[in-house]
A and B are shown apart, each in its own frame.
Chain A
Amino acid sequence: MTNYIGKSIKRVEDKRFITGQGKYTDDIKLPNMVHAYILRSPYAHANVKGIDTAEALKVPGVVTILTGADIPEAIAGVPCGWQVDFKNGDTMKEPPHPLLVRGTVRHVGDGVAMVVAETKAIAKDASDLIDVDYEVLDAVADPKKAAAPGAPLVHPDCPSNICFDWELGNPKDEVAAALAGAHHVTELDFVNQRVVPNAMETRGVVALYDTAYDKYTIYTSTQNPHLIRLLMCAFVLGIPEHKVRVVGPDVGGGFGSKIFHYAEEALLVWASKHIGRPIKWSSDRSEAFMTDAHGRDHNSNAKMGFDKDGKIVALQATTFANLGAYLSTFAPAVPTYLHGTLMQGLYTTPKVNVDVTAVFTHTNAVDAYRGAGRPEATYLLERLIDLAALEMDMDPAELRLKNFIPAFDGVEQEGYQTQVALQYDSGNYEPVLKRALEMIGYENFRSEQAAAASSNKILGIGFSTYIEACGIAPSAVVGSLGARAGLFESAQVRVQPTGKVSVFTGSHSHGQGHETTFAQIVADKLGIDLGDVEIIHGDSDSVAFGMGTYGSRSLAVGGSAIVKSIEKVLEKGAKVAAHLLEASADDLNYEGGKWTVKGTDKSVSFGDVSLTAYVPHNYPEGLEPGLDFSSFYDPANFTYPFGAHVAIVEIDKETGAVKLKRFIAVDDVGNVINPMIVDGQIHGGLAQGIGQALHEGALYDDTGQLINGSYMDYCMPRADDFPSFEIDRTVTPCPHNPLGVKGAGEAGCIGSTPAVVNAVVDALWKAGFKVKDIPMPMTPERVWTAMQG
């Protein structure tokens, strides 16, 4: 059977997971392995006056205890992978991020010492006996407070805690003038609260140094094996890259938090040689809360101006972005190029300015979390436009339809140039919203809502029409924007002598189903059976290179690289086939797994050509044997999926409890290879976005203490928090990649959050409570308080 593309093929990777045979990092056991436990700071800011390990070292089974002082000076700290400059052209502040602290702790969870022992339990016990002399200092956790005069400094050489300031779009005075002349201006102060990614598998590392080959192997729960190797070897440890193998085995979810190079990776690689034994570290959940890079944490003010017909005339967004204490790998890109560039949304807004101040605080690092910057931009835009509709007494759907950019396919019509740098590839925005309205039964809903307005259970509806930039992306573009790495993808298609195919991709699957989706593409393009294709990923010794999986890029960039390699296989295969068929390659057709001489029944199969390529006895002169091609694909542009999300909520007026009654999502992610998998990606994204609106939020108090750093305190969304989702899609192909795909991993999380908040605000307005905002997460207490005036 061929013709796999577009079908909901069941996942080939499932078997190992449903039978308990997945191999995650913590499942790896190596002979003679020792276990590490990292003693972490309980304070947000303190000078470490001394670390006494004497008692801890006496515990039977303890192998060694390492502190910052034990790490050689030649080993650098954790590097940042993206540079953003100040408005005045100065380079951003990039303070050192040591693998274990030297002198000062800067957030709760900062690593102070690593205990190495025969078991994790022994290491943990011994860590209790380490006596750290802390001199506790004032701390600051809020980004606006951190940037205010007199705030405690996170890094001594970073005045006002400002890492950089940044601006994009039309000049501010032009935007101000347009707002001054507007018929109506909607203004709102927002907090897009900090959330914790919470992949169900915590991070873990196993490192091994092999003296025979002078080579290190590291297994790490990462989305990004090759980039980790590059950053760790070249910028931290100074070990030649070819002497390090990085494996990202089965990885239990990432959502961004496993993109980054973390201190523990370099620390364990170094320690594996230093100690001379394989070493494992597995993060506890409470450590994960303190050390996995968090997401969001923006504090913004925004103004959206409208003319008397409801056309948007200008947008000014001003944001303080919390970066935490240290710069994580992509942290500077998130509030800037992944956020400011999305402020046009789906609208024809003629004047847009975005101003961002990125601030250090005594908190855990903030970096990309599912959507990374785009949810924050969407939140701001979609809250404003829904609120504007309420304020102007207009219909929120009508108001959006009035402002949508007209349809363009990127082929006949040019891409849409925004005021904020990006050029959208293709878009057709009305149909997604209109389809969502149909699915809701919008008019009926409004009558139901009116009828319920005076009851104890009031109803609300909230919209969100979003665009995102994904398939990250063209290396030259991201390079000019500060990326310190390329963002292409590689793929090798190795046809085995018998015509079976091994595909090596630089993308990494940690739930996305690459082993199925990518195999569907290969099997279809080669006209062979799906079972004859194997997708290999996550091992830097078998995959040539890779930039990993994030930014909904696997299919658009990694899939396109595979297509390029398949084209090369078929081109060479045609030469072999032509020789065997005694015809010209131009006269051949490739279909159904065989080359046929056009207009005849003479053909040769893919398997026969493969065998001939490896047993080249009767072979074209001058042609190299073998059928094995690598490609690197660097896209021409980002891809721009879009969609319309609608939430319907019921609020109990007596308790303030919000019940999500329905959630409708109509997304356009371009062409779809496996609808089942795309739907699954949307569902998961929706749950995370809705989770932020209703349940989740990391809380730091004024001393920098993380006060809800466990599942007992942090509200993780559960099955009974959601209805079944109602989803549909339209298809507007991407015009610039060979598959026409755009990416689906983040869409659900980008669109859904503001829809839920808008629904709650709508319910309150329609019941007579003219509340502009309810801070997320919208707990019953917050909603109830809002209703008390």
Chain B
Amino acid sequence: MKNKISVTVNGKQYEGEVEGRELLVNYLREHLSLTGTHIGCDTSSCGACTIHMNGHAVKSCTVLAAQADGASITTVEGLATNGELHPIQEGFKEEHGLQCGFCTPGMMMTAVDLLKDNSDPSEHEIRDALEGNFCRCTGYHNIVKSIQHAAKKMNGVTA
């Protein structure tokens, strides 16, 4: 059975039909061609598919597309505004917070959510907040620094 849904993704309104079992991550990737959101596992463990739904970070493999009806979604493609990188994107670039780039979108979406709740997290708090996101390249070292970089920028601290 198909379900009609209406979602706002990165500020744009979409109407669509999805199967009841269809995951939000599939909807984003297959229907909307927003392939920046990645699938890294099948157990909701890795966090590569993390997006924002109504302002909160969620794993889009754990949400049915039908559940997103009426929701406002932000994906990695919607982080930059008018071509200007979000501080978290800048942080990842400046601090070499990515290597292969596959986990990066999910990492950044989780980090933005953390910084919304805690504008000046300690290293321990950052590591704690990343418990649902795997990275196999960086050893997390520079991801922590990237998030600290973004926090400083967002708090108006100049390097």
A residues lining the B interface (CB < 8 Å): 8, 10-11, 13-24, 26-27, 29, 121, 198-202, 250-253, 255, 282, 284-286, 510-513, 676-677, 679-680, 683-688, 710-712, 716, 718-720, 722, 724-725, 748
Contacts and interface: CB of A to CB of B under 8 A. Distances in A.
A510 B133 CA distance: 19
A20 B35 contact: yes
B60 interface: no
A687 B75 contact: no
Contacts of B77: 19-21
Nearest to A720: B127
B139 A683 contact: yes
A252 B38 contact: yes
Nearest to A685: B139
A511 B130 contact: no
A253 B35 CA distance: 17
Contact of B80 (A19, A286, A687): A19
B96 to A, nearest CB: 5
B101 A285 contact: no
A22 B37 CA distance: 10
A21 B77 CA distance: 8
B16 interface: no
Contact of B38 (A21, A201, A510, A710): A201
Nearest to B134: A716
A539 to B, nearest CB: 18
B26 to A, nearest CB: 8
A134 B130 CA distance: 43
A18 B38 contact: no
Given A201-B38, A253-B102, A719 B45 contact: no
A10 B80 CA distance: 19
Contact of B93 (A10, A680, A685, A687): A10
B108 to A, nearest CB: 7
29 contacts: A14-B92, A15-B93, A17-B98, A17-B101, A19-B89, A20-B105, A21-B77, A24-B35, A26-B38, A29-B33, A121-B19, A201-B102, A202-B40, A250-B100, A251-B100, A253-B99, A285-B41, A286-B42, A511-B100, A683-B138, A683-B142, A684-B139, A687-B136, A711-B134, A716-B134, A716-B136, A722-B139, A724-B123, A725-B139
Contacts of A15: 93
A19, A200, A718, A722 pick with most chain B CB within 10 angstroms: A200
B35 A27 contact: yes
Nearest to A251: B100
B93 A14 contact: yes
Contact of A22 (B36, B43, B46, B80): B36
Contacts of B123: 724
A763 B108 CA distance: 38
Given A201-B38, A716-B134, A18 B98 contact: yes
Given A10-B94, A711-B41, A722-B141, A22 B34 contact: no
B85 to A, nearest CB: 7
B35, B41, B43, B131 pick with most chain A CB within 10 angstroms: B41
Interface of B: 19, 21, 29, 33-43, 45-46, 48, 75-77, 79-80, 85, 89, 92-94, 96, 98-105, 108, 123-124, 126-128, 130-131, 133-144
B128 A720 contact: yes
Given A19-B80, A711-B43, A712-B43, 8 more contacts: A10-B94, A11-B93, A19-B76, A250-B101, A253-B99, A687-B139, A687-B140, A718-B127
Nearest to A718: B131
Q: Main SS of the interface on chain B?
A: loop
B99 A513 contact: yes
Nearest to B129: A719
A686 B104 contact: no
A104 B30 CA distance: 37
A21 B80 CA distance: 12
A720 B105 CA distance: 19
Given A200-B40, A285-B40, A253 B141 contact: no
A291 B133 CA distance: 23
Nearest to B143: A719
Q: Please list the 9 inter-chain residue pairs (A to B) with the smallest Cβ-Cβ separation, ordered nearest first.
A: A20-B36, A17-B101, A252-B102, A687-B139, A511-B100, A711-B45, A511-B99, A20-B76, A27-B35
Given A711-B41, A711-B43, A716-B134, A724 B144 contact: yes
B46 to A, nearest CB: 6
Nearest to A20: B36
Contact of B101 (A252, A677, A684, A724): A252
A680 B104 contact: no
Contacts of A748: 139
Contacts of A688: 136, 139
Nearest to B126: A719
Contacts of A201: 38, 40, 100, 102
Contacts of A121: 19, 21
B137 A18 contact: no
A21 B96 CA distance: 17
B96 A684 contact: no
A712 to B, nearest CB: 5
Contact of A18 (B104, B124, B128, B138): B104
Contacts of B75: 20
B155 to A, nearest CB: 20
A724 B95 CA distance: 14
Contacts of A711: 41, 43, 45-46, 134
Nearest to A287: B42
A710 B105 contact: no
Contact of B100 (A27, A510, A677): A510
Nearest to A285: B41
Given A686-B139, A711-B43, A718-B134, A19 B79 contact: yes
Contacts of A202: 40
A253 B130 contact: no
Nearest to B22: A121
A683 B101 CA distance: 16
Given A19-B76, A686-B139, A24 B102 contact: yes
B122 to A, nearest CB: 12
B137 A253 contact: yes
A23 B37 CA distance: 11
Contacts of A23: 35
A222 to B, nearest CB: 13
